[in-house]
A and B are shown apart, each in its own frame.
Chain A
């Protein structure tokens, strides 16, 4: 009698975590790298959302795909390709120095178009010269299960740099996001802070591009952060919530993708699909939660 309950629990666990999940090396790498990408994206994403620069964030991710395709062409690690192009594009956007939202969106859109055009050419060349038909899929939609173990340290290094930078400029970044005039009156160098924000953003975008793909990395950048600022009343809690949401989406996505081997035998569903869908559902959930009476009560407490 008493032995039956654990059996039942085990089979539920088996259903949730398909056999071999925790033992699989690609899964372990995916969880580590995915977490790093989710944490960095969620942290900087909160500021990106508050600064109204979500479109710039999206553009940077898309443009970084040109870097990923160059890397394929040159046979170097995609990480450095994504990183190089994202940082260059961030610098270009900041150099344009546009403060009016409308002009900024316009220039961002134009640079984005040009960047994606370049990607089209590079991917074409990739396929031609290296006959790597997988390049396009991998650059655009990520390859979280195919990250070589040798890249793990470099990616964790990039993540550490990003998190340290966020910690360093946390207060000026928050103040500038609240209002640039307030910040500059307090002696904050608003332009330098803006440039650093874009630089950290390009690090986050690079990490996400490696995991869920260049054109999907916005999902990890904006979704968890946008959900968190709906709910949190203080900045510290917004950051913590955003990180939690990002991790839930990433871990849930990796798990579901692994499980999906069993749904359509031999053919797993793309992990990026699950991560982005979960991020979307979390955002919807946050919007709904905000409307509940209980949310209002806690907000007043």
Chain B
């Protein structure tokens, strides 16, 4: 399993909080340059899994093997409007925010920050306060913050939540580019897999504390997800999108076929 090509290997990982088993026997591995969706409803353990990979959360059992540095984009940060930090300051802190002492003006740092801002398309608002930016712009800045140390693995916690359709497409395109062009392995969590379908090589689907993992087309199937959830699940493909619907709940969940025919339903 632990070949050099693998950037991340998670083996039989279990994590429990007092009185609650959050993750049970989760195993998967990601190769260099792969994009993997970490999919599950709220509370399914996505954040816990990411934090465990980062070493911020202790595992009950199992191992996480990392090959190279990790960058991290945490779940939606509510930036204070009064935070006196420009987008470029936030990116700069990604480079040296953990160092002691005062930052001295440095041309090489300035160049690195400029290059990173360009790479995520944030030059235009580089000198605006972080709190004044839109959600999509903030997400770009946070990705730059995480990428400036050139990690081999990039973890993102719900980066697409609360973004408009256009910004979602932009961010997904950006992540895909980092993976294809620079060989960065991207593990991105989302409660809705649809925006990621076109770029996702693999999927880690979390439900009931367990995970179904593998290539997207092998995991997102009625039999596999039904086994994972422990009851019957329908996986329906419509117009290139995927609907995951719990049996019996169809009456309560309106899957209205109106102008926007697709509505992803979460499993109760």
Q: Which residues of A contact B (CB under 8 A)?
A: 46, 49-50, 52, 167-172, 174-175, 178-179, 181-188, 226, 228-230, 232-235, 237-238, 299-300
Does A49 lie within 8 Å of B82, measured CB to CB? yes
Q: Among B74, B90, B101, B128, which residue has its beta carbon within 8 angstroms of that of A181?
A: B74
Give the chain B neighbours of A171 by CB distance below 8 A. Answer: 93, 96-103
In the complex with contacts A182-B74, A185-B56, A170-B102 CB distance below 8 A: yes
In the complex with contacts A185-B72, A235-B89, A50-B83 CB distance below 8 A: yes
Q: Complex formed: what's the CA distance from A49 to B75 in Å?
A: 23
| 5 chain-A/chain-B pairs, Cβ below 8 angstroms | A50-B84, A168-B100, A172-B98, A172-B99, A233-B86
Q: Mark B63-103, 1 if CB is under 8 A from A, else 0.
A: 00000001010110101101111100110011011111111
Q: Complex formed: what's the CA distance from A199 to B82 in Å?
A: 24
Give the chain B neighbours of A185 by CB distance below 8 A. Answer: 54, 56, 70, 72, 74
Query: A181-B74, A182-B93 provided; 7 other pairs, C-beta below 8 A?
Result: A168-B101, A174-B97, A183-B97, A229-B83, A233-B127, A233-B129, A235-B85
B46 in contact (CB, < 8 A)? no
In the complex with contacts A182-B74, A182-B77, A237-B84 CB distance below 8 A: yes
- Which 10 residue pairs across A and B have the least CB separation, nearest first? A175-B97, A238-B84, A185-B72, A181-B74, A232-B84, A229-B82, A186-B98, A179-B77, A188-B98, A175-B93
Does B84 lie within 8 Å of A233, measured CB to CB? yes
In the complex with contacts A229-B82, A232-B84, A234-B86, A186-B100 CB distance below 8 A: no
A43 → B minimal CB distance (Å): 12
Contact residues of B between 45 and 71, Cβ < 8 Å to A: 54, 56, 70
Does B93 lie within 8 Å of A178, measured CB to CB? yes
Q: Complex formed: what's the CA distance from A282 to B215 in Å?
A: 60
B170 → A minimal CB distance (Å): 21
B191 in contact (CB, < 8 A)? no
Q: Complex formed: what's the CA distance from A21 to B64 in Å?
A: 69
B145 in contact (CB, < 8 A)? yes
B159 → A minimal CB distance (Å): 14
A221 → B minimal CB distance (Å): 16
Give the chain A neighbours of B85 by CB distance below 8 A. Answer: 174, 178, 233-235
Give the chain B neighbours of A170 by CB distance below 8 A. Answer: 101-103
Chain A CB within 10 A, most for which of B72, B77, B82, B103: B82
Q: Complex formed: what's the CA distance from A172 to B80 in Å?
A: 18
Q: Complex formed: what's the CA distance from A174 to B93 in Å?
A: 9
Q: Complex formed: what's the CA distance from A53 to B239 in Å?
A: 50
Residue ID in chain B nearest A235 by CB atoms: B84
Does A179 lie within 8 Å of B74, measured CB to CB? yes
Q: Complex formed: what's the CA distance from A132 to B54 in Å?
A: 59
B92 → A minimal CB distance (Å): 9
A162 → B minimal CB distance (Å): 15
Q: Complex formed: what's the CA distance from A181 to B74 in Å?
A: 7
Q: Mark B130-151, 1 if CB is under 8 A from A, else 0.
A: 1000000000001001000000
Does A172 lie within 8 Å of B102, measured CB to CB? no
Give the chain B neighbours of A183 by CB distance below 8 A. Answer: 97-98
Residue ID in chain A nearest B93 by CB atoms: A175
Q: Among B79, B84, B101, which residue has its beta carbon within 8 angstroms of that of A234?
A: B84
Does A178 lie within 8 Å of B83, measured CB to CB? yes
A17 → B minimal CB distance (Å): 34
Give the chain B neighbours of A49 by CB distance below 8 A. Answer: 82
Does B98 lie within 8 Å of A167, measured CB to CB? no
B49 → A minimal CB distance (Å): 14
Give the chain A neighbours of B80 by CB distance below 8 A. Answer: 50, 52
Give the chain A neighbours of B101 by CB distance below 8 A. Answer: 167-168, 170-171
Residue ID in chain A nearest B103 by CB atoms: A171
Give the chain B neighbours of A226 by CB distance below 8 A. Answer: 82
